[in-house]
């Protein structure tokens, strides 16, 4: 590849107006007359770029040239990242890059999952720039991406009080797929009280759509169950009962073939279900009791386990996940339903394995809850919280988390400014357990420790940890490139790529020269090119808002997604 070098030349154009005053002869003592010259139109001055911004812009130019020669998956993702990384807003160029990224995604023919995920990311990035572009490209996207993006557009219309457009889009989505329960729920939240007829119409449409589709997997977020429990006020009781009976019927029918064990947690506690049917009945029974007490009684007699759950959680899911206070809703809008913590499918021959898996999931949930309690304690008593954190397990079964490591990192972040001694001790404890963690967990722990050291003004310790971190990244890259069992996921989502990104972000704050040297040493050219984009983002102070880590190997297809 020919290296492209583009010098950024900035000019500041200033145009102003001037005043010309001309005084007449004073023979007759006439008042002075002032003539104002016509002001020339003023062009807005272009912002002056810093040295880091100029360097980042040059890197992005080079990276774009490299990206356009890459295979479709890396081309699509790289162009996506470049589009959101310019030092100054450039809507026209960003739109063009995102459209090119989408076109590249259409050329991915052997990985439907990656193609869909890339399209989802592209639309999320493109929507703030151009709703028109998104709507134009939407018909070419994957079915589930059309649904997700349409729900986002419906929510956008609802926020803008453009109810007619939102309702029209709901009808369109229902015509090509299933009813958009999540987006329509947000729309119904936003609709005023005098639009009750429109709400009832949407609810009927949702029920009819649900009846015409099969639901083999549980849908906790954005489901008819959530719509029923959240928007039952003002609805016809007969319609509500028919809708709930349909949900229970479908969930019971599929449970005859496969049992689903799941654990759901909220602010009010944690509850475990042995099947999807148990969950649906638990969520709906409080409303059934209000509408038809005799039917509710019959259902509870058939399902003794639900009766026991209701003694602890009398309002069902509202007890598990109580509605948030108004002040909390402003910053953290309430979800329609709490997400599933874990689930597994079993048959009669695998009940024991499923029970063991559920027990592990339950223990993981308990460890997470205990970790949250300790982090909350750190706000008032960081020393005691630190002591409690050391009692947590380093790992939690097969779950990709470290309860002790995550808690120590959280305490360090909270104490970095107000209690550096506690923060330093937490980081010391964290570094001790890093070797005991699986390789994939080590890079998040080390990068967090390095970032906190930088926040505390200890750049030497940060640099030392970053050096250790790059060695971890190298080991991960060797594993990803293993010729016997290579990682077939998108390279930008490899664990090694994520590790390099983390340490590039920190290293850039310590030494840009050292960062450049590290980039040169990355063995894989595509990873090296991608990390150059990450370096440009680091120069601009643009950390990744959304990250994906994926492994596709023999007998493994594992992904994890996080948002910052």
Distance CA 531, CA 511 (A): 16
For residue 275, pLDDT beyond 90:
no
Helix (H) or strand (E) holding 62: helix 51-67
**Average confidence (pLDDT) over 402-412:** 95
Alpha helices in 180-223 (DSSP H): 181-190, 196-211
Confidence band for 257, pLDDT divided at 50, 70 and 90: low
**Average confidence (pLDDT) over 397-401:** 75
For residue 443, pLDDT beyond 80:
yes
Nearest-CA neighbor of 59 among 536, 511, 537, 534?
Answer: 536
If one compares 399 and 27, the residue with the highest pLDDT of the two is 399
Q: For 327, list phi and psi in degrees, rounded to 5.
A: -65, -35
The pLDDT tens digits for 97-111 are: 999 999 999 999 999
Q: For 220, list phi and psi in degrees, rounded to 5.
A: -75, -50
**Average confidence (pLDDT) over 356-384:** 83
Q: Which residue has the tokens 């300790």?
A: 374
Q: Three-class SS of residue 382?
A: helix
Q: Check residue 37 and give its pLDDT.
A: 47
Distance CA 6, CA 3 (A): 10
Q: Which of 15-24, 239-248, 436-445 has the lowest mean pLDDT?
A: 15-24
Q: Check residue 14 and give its pLDDT.
A: 25
Confidence band for 43, pLDDT divided at 50, 70 and 90: low
Q: Check residue 45 and give its pLDDT.
A: 61
For residue 165, pLDDT beyond 70:
yes
Neighbours of 22 (CB within 10 A): 8
For residue 501, pLDDT beyond 70:
yes
For residue 27, pLDDT beyond 80:
no
Distance CA 113, CA 491 (A): 14
For residue 330, pLDDT beyond 50:
no
Percent of the chain with pLDDT over 90: 65
Q: For 473, list phi and psi in degrees, rounded to 5.
A: -60, -40
Helix (H) or strand (E) holding 299: helix 293-302
Task: Write the DSSP string, 116-185.
Answer: HHHHHHHHHHHTTT-HHHHHHHGGGS-HHHHHHHHHHHHHHHHHTT-HHHHHHHHHHHHHHSS--HHHHH
**Average confidence (pLDDT) over 250-264:** 70
For residue 34, list its beta bridge partners. 21
Confidence band for 30, pLDDT divided at 50, 70 and 90: very low
Q: Check residue 529 and give its pLDDT.
A: 95
Q: Check residue 57 and give its pLDDT.
A: 94
The pLDDT tens digits for 457-488 are: 999 999 999 999 999 999 999 999 999 999 99
Helix (H) or strand (E) holding 290: helix 276-291
Nearest-CA neighbor of 487 among 545, 537, 437, 439?
Answer: 439
Distance CA 395, CA 360 (A): 12
Task: Write the DSSP string, 438-507.
Answer: -HHHHHHHHHHHHHHHHHTT-HHHHHHHHHHHHHHHHHHHHHHT-TTS---S-GGGSHHHHHHHHHHHHH
If one compares 474 and 34, the residue with the highest pLDDT of the two is 474
Q: Check residue 338 and give its pLDDT.
A: 37
Locate 141 and state its tokens. 């996207």
Nearest-CA neighbor of 142 among 165, 163, 122, 166?
Answer: 122
For residue 524, pLDDT beyond 50:
yes
Distance CA 359, CA 262 (A): 10
Confidence band for 286, pLDDT divided at 50, 70 and 90: very high
CB 323 within 8 A of CB 337: no
For residue 28, pLDDT beyond 60:
no
Distance CA 469, CA 533 (A): 19
For residue 252, pLDDT beyond 60:
yes
**Average confidence (pLDDT) over 26-43:** 47
Q: How many helices (H) and strands (E) does the chain have?
A: 25, 7
CB 213 within 8 A of CB 177: no
For residue 337, pLDDT beyond 90:
no
Q: For 33, list phi and psi in degrees, rounded to 5.
A: -115, 125
Q: For 48, list phi and psi in degrees, rounded to 5.
A: -80, 130
Locate 260 and state its tokens. 């689903």
Give how far Cα 329 sits from Cα of 81, 204, 333, 341, 373, Å. Answer: 31, 28, 4, 22, 22
Confidence band for 135, pLDDT divided at 50, 70 and 90: very high
Confidence band for 315, pLDDT divided at 50, 70 and 90: confident
If one compares 506 and 337, the residue with the highest pLDDT of the two is 506
The pLDDT tens digits for 83-100 are: 999 987 789 999 999 999
If one compares 217 and 491, the residue with the highest pLDDT of the two is 491
**Average confidence (pLDDT) over 167-186:** 93
> CA 167: distance to chain centroid?
26
Distance CA 336, CA 74 (A): 35
Q: Check residue 346 and give its pLDDT.
A: 34
Question: Is the overall model pTM greater than 0.85, yes or no?
Answer: no
Q: Check residue 36 and give its pLDDT.
A: 43
């Amino acid at each position: 590849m020919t290296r492209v070098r583009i010098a950024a030349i900035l000019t500041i154009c200033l145009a102003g107006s001037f005043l010309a005053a001309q005084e007449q002869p004073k023979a007759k003592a006439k008042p002075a007359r002032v003539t104002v010259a016509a002001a020339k139109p003023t062009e807005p001055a272009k912002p002056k770029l810093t040295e880091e911004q100029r360097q980042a812009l040059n890197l992005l130019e080079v990276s774009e040239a490299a990206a356009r020669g890459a295979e479709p998956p890396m081309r699509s993702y790289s162009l996506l990242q470049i589009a959101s990384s310019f030092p100054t807003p450039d809507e026209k160029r960003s739109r063009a890059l995102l459209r090119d990224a989408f076109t590249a995604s259409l050329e991915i023919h052997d990985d439907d999952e990656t193609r869909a995920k890339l399209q989802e990311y592209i639309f999320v990035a493109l929507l703030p720039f151009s709703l028109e572009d998104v709507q134009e490209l939407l018909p070419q996207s994957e079915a589930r991406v059309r649904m997700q993006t349409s729900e986002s557009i419906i929510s956008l219309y609802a926020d803008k009080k453009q109810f007619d457009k939102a309702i029209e889009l709901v009808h369109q989505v229902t015509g090509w797929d299933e009813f958009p329960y999540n987006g329509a729920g947000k729309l119904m939240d936003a609709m005023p009280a005098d639009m009750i007829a429109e709400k009832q119409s949407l609810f009927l449409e949702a029920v009819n759509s649900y009846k015409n589709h099969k639901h083999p997997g549980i849908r906790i977020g954005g489901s008819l169950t959530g719509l029923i429990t959240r928007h039952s006020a003002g609805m016809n009781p007969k319609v509500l009962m028919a809708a709930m009976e349909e949900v229970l019927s479908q969930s019971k029918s599929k449970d005859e073939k496969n049992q689903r064990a799941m654990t759901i947690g909220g602010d009010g506690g944690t509850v475990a279900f042995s099947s999807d049917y148990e969950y649906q009945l638990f969520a709906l029974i409080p409303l059934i009791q209000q509408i038809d007490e005799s039917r509710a009684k019959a259902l509870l007699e058939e399902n003794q386990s639900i009766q026991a759950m209701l003694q602890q959680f009398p309002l069902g899911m509202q007890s598990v996940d109580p509605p948030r206070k108004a002040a909390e809703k402003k910053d953290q809008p309430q979800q329609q339903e709490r997400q599933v913590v874990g689930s597994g499918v079993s048959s009669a021959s695998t009940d024991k394995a499923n029970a063991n898996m559920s027990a592990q999931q339950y223990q993981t949930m308990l460890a997470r809850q205990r970790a949250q309690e300790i982090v909350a304690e750190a706000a008032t008593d960081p020393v005691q919280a630190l002591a409690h954190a050391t009692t947590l397990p380093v790992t939690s079964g097969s779950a990709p988390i470290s309860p002790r490591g995550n808690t120590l990192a959280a305490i360090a972040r909270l104490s970095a400014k107000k209690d550096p001694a506690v923060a330093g001790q937490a980081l010391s404890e964290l570094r001790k357990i890093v070797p005991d963690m699986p390789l994939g967990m080590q890079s998040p722990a080390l990068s967090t420790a390095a970032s906190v050291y930088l926040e505390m003004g200890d750049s030497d310790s940060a640099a030392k940890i970053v050096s250790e971190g790059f060695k971890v990244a190298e080991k991960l890259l060797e594993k990803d490139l293993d010729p016997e069992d290579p990682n077939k996921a998108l390279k930008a989502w490899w664990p090694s790529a994520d590790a390099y990104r983390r340490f590039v972000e920190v290293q850039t704050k310590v030494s840009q020269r050292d960062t450049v040297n590290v980039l040169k040493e990355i063995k894989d050219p595509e990873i090296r090119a991608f990390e150059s984009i990450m370096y440009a983002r680091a120069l601009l102070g643009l950390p990744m808002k959304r990250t994906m880590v994926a492994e596709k190997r023999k007998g493994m297809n594992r992904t994890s997604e996080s948002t910052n």
